[in-house]
Amino acid sequence: MPSTKIQKTKILDDLRDKVARQKAIVLVGITGLKVKDVSNLRKKLKTTNANIKVFKKTLAEIVFKENKMEFDKKNFKEEIALVFGFDDEVSPAKAVYQFSKENSKFKILGGFLENKFREKEDMIVLAQIPGREELLTKLVGSLSAPMSGLARVLQGNIKGLVYVLSSIKK
């Protein structure tokens, strides 16, 4: 059943709002995907303050052109959904990438970072970048390694002194 003009206006307003608030958009192909699978993805994305929404390509093209974002609906043959990331750029791409490994019918088609279109390969590379917490953990480990090494060396000298003193006592 075709959408009425009022329904299309509401959908466009919703899409405009999401595009205005986003930090990253991942375009995914959902042709042949079961509703249950999309619901599972929606739950995963909710934990990272991201969501997935299925839009008609024509309506998405209108909003993207309003925001000076390059998008040509002719490049996408299958049904698409947009995954919006509102907190950071990496977490929605990671969630989508993990989900695409589990579901062969789910495909990453590209995305938008800093309002510029990125190809599928760029989005996959972005998804494989370690997360913020993991990077911070590695940084703290790198910074603390020299200090802990120095502490072990100094502790070794004290242990050696204790062994020498205990052998003299005997």
Tens-place pLDDT, residues 100-117: 888 888 888 888 888 888
Q: What average pLDDT is seen over the chain?
A: 85
Among 97-101, 132-136, 158-162, top mean pLDDT goes to: 97-101
Q: What pLDDT does residue 117 have?
A: 87
d(CA 156, CA 144): 18
Helix, strand, coil content of the chain in percent (nearest 5): 60, 15, 25
- The confidence band for 155, taking pLDDT boundaries of 50, 70 and 90, is confident
pLDDT at 139: 87
pLDDT at 58: 85
Each domain of the chain, given as residue ranges in start order, spans: 5-129, 131-170
- Reported confidence tier of residue 162, pLDDT bands at 50, 70, 90: confident
Predicted local distance difference test score (pLDDT) of residue 157: 75
Residue 2: predicted pLDDT: 62
User: How many angstroms separate the CA atoms of 113 and 126, rounded?
Assistant: 10
Give me the mean pLDDT over the 141-166 stretch.
Answer: 80
Q: What is the mean pLDDT of residues 126-139?
A: 84
Looking at residue 170, what is its pLDDT? Answer: 72
Rg (CA), the chain: 25
Query: Phi and psi dihedrals of 49, rounded to 5?
Result: 55, 50
pTM summary value: 0.73
Spell out the CATH class of 5-129.
Answer: alpha beta
CB neighbours (10 Å) of residue 27? 24
